[in-house]
A = this chain, B = another copy of it.
């Protein structure tokens, strides 16, 4: 049984929260899945209380939807939904690089270059998991360089819904040549503290992401309606 007691000093609710979150983002808990408290409780070896508190947190992040007296279910991802998120992310990512241009320190620039190189190395492995990881780290370096704590939190919460599509997006990006090029452009602009160029580069980056993710969602939806036609099997 996947007991959740890994970190002993962390409250159970946080362990549960992390576990559920992970499960949702990897698709282990698919959209629409009902989250039943007793069930999750003995699956994770804890009582309902930490489960409930974790669900409250996931609810406020938008990862689960509550139906009163009915319970929680994993939130459905719709195209509108994702489009809204990306629209906001675009604005915030641009803010991010603009602030980074103003505030990044020499060490920050070093970190950024390191992250860029690490990403390019990751691309060579052709392993989506590793590439995704390096991509996240690259973005985190930029976000940290902006020196705005609120931005860190928001970017995190806005990234969540997209993680479910991350692997496909990575695989999708025609040989990753694009990604590498885009990252280089962004680093170059920040290094020269050229806000406009940085903003433009990031804008393109997100727009590409949007195209890829939207296509993915449409494919998913098609597949789903096929399943509906032929009967769902498990």
Contact = CB atoms under 8 A, between A and B. Distances in A.
Nearest to A89: B150
Interface in A36-87: 49, 52-53, 56-57, 59-62, 68, 80-81, 84-85, 87
A84 B53 contact: no
Given A87-B95, A95-B88, A149 B81 contact: yes
A99 B84 contact: no
A46 to B, nearest CB: 15
A136 interface: no
Interface residues of A, number: 31
A87 B13 contact: no
Residue from A13, A60, A61, A92 whose CB has the most chain B CB atoms within 10 Å: A60
A10 to B, nearest CB: 8
7 contacts: A56-B57, A81-B149, A84-B151, A85-B150, A87-B99, A87-B150, A88-B148
A88 B154 contact: yes
Given A11-B68, A52-B53, A91-B95, 10 more contacts: A53-B53, A53-B56, A56-B56, A60-B61, A85-B150, A87-B99, A88-B95, A88-B148, A88-B154, A154-B154
Interface in A2-44: 9, 11, 13
A60 B80 CA distance: 25
B95 A56 contact: no
Given A60-B60, A91-B92, A154-B154, A84 B13 contact: no
A92 B99 CA distance: 15
B92 A88 contact: yes
Contacts of A85: 150
